[in-house]
Amino acid sequence: MLSTDKLIILEEANSTQDIAIEMARQGAHDGTAVMTLNQTAGRGRMGRSWASPSGKNLALSFIIRPSCEPSLAPLYGLMASVAAAQTVEAFCLNTLVQVKWPNDVIVEGRKIAGILPQAQVINNNVEFVIVGLGLNVNSAMEDFPVDIIDKVTSMADLSGESFDLTSVARSFLSYMKALRDGPADISFKKTLELWNSKWAHRGCYVNRTGIEGIAEGIDVTGALLVRAKGGELLKISSGEVNF
């Protein structure tokens, strides 16, 4: 195991998310990050698995010990998606990088990064939030399962170059640090502004069981706001939406 600063680099791990959760339970400090070069049992959102071909993509989990109320904890997922988008922009110049609610990062509609935010709340106090980042860095399209090839991309696919995974990780961590700088309310405001400026689906039609209308924005907790035909403003706080 190689440890520099607060970034721990593991040759192999089942899931950096599980490792970071355990480290946080054992008292690891805010800002500690763990990445692996070979994640063998990556977890995605909604109970899905997350595939990361060995040595090619970034699998990283980051420990945050926030001082915010539980309803605001999901904002760290949005923050991580903004930081991941900024990272892709920094390495793949002239690329329009966007976000999809709640936490996906996309380029021309194809997913390049996913975020898995997980919070531990005890007695209405947020003990920690772990943000897991899966970022497609050096994967070629043939590395992905056939059924998702037309839905994904990678930094190498966009630029024709390959990138050092540790440098990409450090870039992500420095964007996170910049976004978290200052009091939480200012940091969340900045996050919401940036997220909105990168949002791909403002004004798009949404139809998710029971909720149908036009995506209008997000509220201060990061929930998706949908304007129904009758004018009512509906809220989707979690899950996924197809546009």
Contacts of 124 (CB under 8 A, 6+ apart): 69, 70
Contact 106, 100 (CB under 8 A): yes
Helix (H) or strand (E) holding 214: strand 211-218
Interface region with ligand BTN, contact rule CB under 6 A, candidates 38-46, 137-145, 156-164, 175-183: 38-46
28 DSSP assignment: P
Contact 212, 228 (CB under 8 A): yes
Q: Which residue of 61, 136, 138, 154 would you call a contact of ligand BTN, by CB under 6 A?
A: 61
Name the residue whose CB lies closest to ligand BTN.
114
| 44 interacts with ligand BTN by CB under 6 A | yes
Contact 33, 169 (CB under 8 A): yes
Coil, strand, or helix at residue 233?
Answer: strand
| 173 interacts with ligand BTN by CB under 6 A | no
Q: Which residue of 8, 43, 56, 126 would you call a contact of ligand BTN, by CB under 6 A?
A: 43
Report how far residue 163's alpha carbon sits from residue 170's, in angstroms, rounded to the nearest whole number: 12
Contact 137, 52 (CB under 8 A): no
Pairing relation of β-strands 125-135 and 110-122? Answer: antiparallel
Interface region with ligand BTN, contact rule CB under 6 A, candidates 129-137, 199-207, 216-224, 226-234: 129-137
**Number of residues binding to ligand BTN, judged by CB under 6 A:** 19
Measured from the CB atom, the residue of 99 and 223 that comes closer to ligand BTN is 99
| 134 interacts with ligand BTN by CB under 6 A | yes
Measured from the CB atom, the residue of 12 and 193 that comes closer to ligand BTN is 12
Q: Which residue of 74, 77, 132, 213 would you call a contact of ligand BTN, by CB under 6 A?
A: 132
| 17 interacts with ligand BTN by CB under 6 A | yes
Residues of this chain that bind ligand BTN (CB under 6 A)? 15-17, 42-45, 48, 50, 59-61, 104, 114-116, 132-134
